[in-house]
Amino acid sequence: MYLTDDSSNKGSRNCYYRETYRPQFHYSPEKNWMNDPNGLVYYEGEYHLFYQHTPHDTQPDFGRMHWGHAVSKDLVHWDELPPAIPPGEDGAIFSGSAVVDKNNTSGFFNEEGSGLVAIYTNEGNRAQPGKPQVQSIAYSRDKGRTWTKYEGNPVLFPMETLDFRDPKVFWHDESAMWIMVLAVRERVEFYTSPNLREWSFASKFGSDIQHIHRGIFECPDIFQIQVDEDPNTTKWILMLSVGDRNGVNPDDPEPPAGGSGMMYFIGNFDGKAFTLDETLGSYDAIKWVDYGSDFYAAVTWNGIPNEDGRKIWVGWMNNWRYGTTLPSEEWRGKMSIPRELQLRTYPEGLHLIQAPISELSQLRKPILSLQDLTIKSGMNVLSDISAAKAEIIAEFEISTAVEFGFKVRKSSNQETIIGYNSSNGELFVDRTKSSAIDFHSDFTAIHKAPMKPEHGRVQLSIYVDWSSVEVFGNHGEIIISDMIFPDLESRGLELYAIGGELRAVSLQINDLVSIWGTENV
């Protein structure tokens, strides 16, 4: 359970959520393993976050995977509930989604009128030999607190492949049908249903597209979104997570930061098939969601009210390349901060934008605000500031400096550099000196992303927590999300410029108060 700011709670649980590397404004389970977000749904005033969870171990136990569960009123403060859906004779509970069945199409809610239905993959199901991954459903009549597995499970079997998982389901108004998009190894498949219990194959996508088959597909998502916030102009975006290669298609390039990553496709969906707007002629044409190592399996919330209108998602802050070796001891795995998605037009075409949700502003505790400041090589205007977690919002005017940026979580032997190289137009995060220990050879790295100045300026929004940095460049055009594991005592901050001068148009630094009500640093 999360704690409020009530002083009696602080006194009774003085060490709550203060373990080494514990994130202070990101969701993490109280203990043990967590991976993919599942079943994201808003219902009767609550945001539900389900996730892959091993409640008995800090390592993933795929044969006994549960759906963990947390709820929130504001997407910021979370109340962890008992695991929602446990494994059983039907197999482990792998990734999936949840929907509000407001018209009782399923027939599960005669008296209630509406309720929640979860759609998930059963791994290790014995119902059909040789096809261990099948799709099953469960329903809740009490706002997600208890769940009943449908007695007619499984509701969907694979035709041929062993990889048949991670259903994302939504209601499609135009066809008056439920739509499921499913990861089927090197492609996704679409299915339709009138009632969430009976499913029919509609189409497939991706098997004939070159340059994208570097690993099996996982955790797909598809949604309609406005272009440039114009309600009369919309597109559909298909999201695909791609697992760590592990020897599959060794000739295909990896995601920008290596290991597992996410790509997206822009096109149209007619209720049965997704069609791509443009041909992917090369690897360079792939649109990547994040240029850091640690944003994966993100999916959007279903059920957000029309009057809100936002597309919001959250991702797992980890990478399968090294995820099971993280140095945290009591818990292993956390979520990113929730992000709002938009689609904007640029000279080179449409581009996905991600921005931290506005609800995070309630955590702000101002530290510093400056305007129109000239930074020269060798000076540090932030030398008096110490921060183990922070929100940094800055806008710079490109001048003579060839490189500039911030060094965060800094000490005599540790630092994470968030910088911009003016000469080649690259945003980067350098975590080669960020961590207290070297727990995996692929963790130490510099992650780069192409980013052009806008009207001669570069804007950065940076979120530093006890074990992560999330960098939003040019108002969310480019994202780099990376874990770091510095000593808690490493909390120095530096604004630097190399090779010339830099004009800081504006700079705001805020502390972000711990969401667990145990503010101490």
Q: Tell me: pLDDT of 1 over 50.
A: no
161 or 485: which leads in pLDDT: 485
Kind and range of the H or E run holding 134: strand 133-140
Q: Tell me: pLDDT of 144 over 60.
A: yes
Estimate to the nearest angstrom the gap between the alpha carbon of 343 and the chain centroid.
Answer: 17
Mean pLDDT over 322-343 rounds to 96
Predicted confidence (pLDDT) per residue in 38-67, tens digit:
999 999 999 999 999 999 999 999 999 999
Residue with tokens 């993280």: 326
Would you report the helix, strand and coil content of the chain in percent, each value rounded to 5? 5, 50, 50
| pLDDT computed for residue 281 by the predictor | 72
| pLDDT computed for residue 53 by the predictor | 98
| pLDDT computed for residue 130 by the predictor | 74
Query: 42 forms bridges with which residues in the sheet?
Result: 47
Predicted confidence (pLDDT) per residue in 302-315, tens digit:
999 999 999 999 99
Q: Tell me: pLDDT of 297 over 80.
A: yes
Pairing of strands 468-473, 478-483: antiparallel
Quickly list DSSP for 343-390.
EEEETTEEEEEEEE-GGGGGGEEEEEEEEEEEE-TT--TTTT-B-SSE
CB 321 within 8 A of CB 442: yes
| Peptide bond preceding 347 in cis form (omega within 30 of 0) | no
Q: Tokens standing for 481?
A: 């999300």
Structural domains in the chain?
A: 27-336 (2.115.10.20), 364-512 (2.60.120.560)
| pLDDT computed for residue 246 by the predictor | 56
Q: Tell me: pLDDT of 12 over 50.
A: no
Cα distances from 200 to residues 81, 173, 228, 272, in angstroms, run 34, 17, 34, 10
| pLDDT computed for residue 520 by the predictor | 57
Q: Tokens standing for 488?
A: 């808690």
Q: Tell me: pLDDT of 6 over 50.
A: no
Active site residues: 36
The strand ranges marked E within 173-300 are 177-184, 187-193, 200-205, 217-227, 230-242, 261-269, 274-276, 287-288, 296-300
CB 110 within 8 A of CB 82: no
| pLDDT computed for residue 11 by the predictor | 35
Secondary structure (3-state) at 7: helix
Q: Tell me: pLDDT of 360 over 80.
A: yes
CB neighbourhood size of 152 (10 A): 10
pLDDT tier at 160, thresholds 50, 70, 90: confident
pLDDT tier at 245, thresholds 50, 70, 90: low
Q: Tell me: pLDDT of 4 over 90.
A: no
| pLDDT computed for residue 9 by the predictor | 37
Predicted confidence (pLDDT) per residue in 177-187, tens digit:
999 999 998 89
Q: To the nearest whole number, what is the mean pLDDT of the chain?
A: 92
Per-residue b/e over 250-283, b at no fewer than 16 CB within 10 Å? eeeebbbbbbbbbbbbbbebeebebeeeeebeee
What's this model's pTM, rounded to 2 decimal places?
A: 0.95
The alpha carbon torsion through 249, 251, 252, 256 (nearest 10 deg) reads 120
Predicted confidence (pLDDT) per residue in 391-414, tens digit:
999 999 999 999 999 999 999 999
CB 244 within 8 A of CB 217: no
Residue with tokens 């569960």: 69
Least confident of 7-21, 107-121, 170-184: 7-21
| pLDDT computed for residue 252 by the predictor | 63
284 or 143: which leads in pLDDT: 143
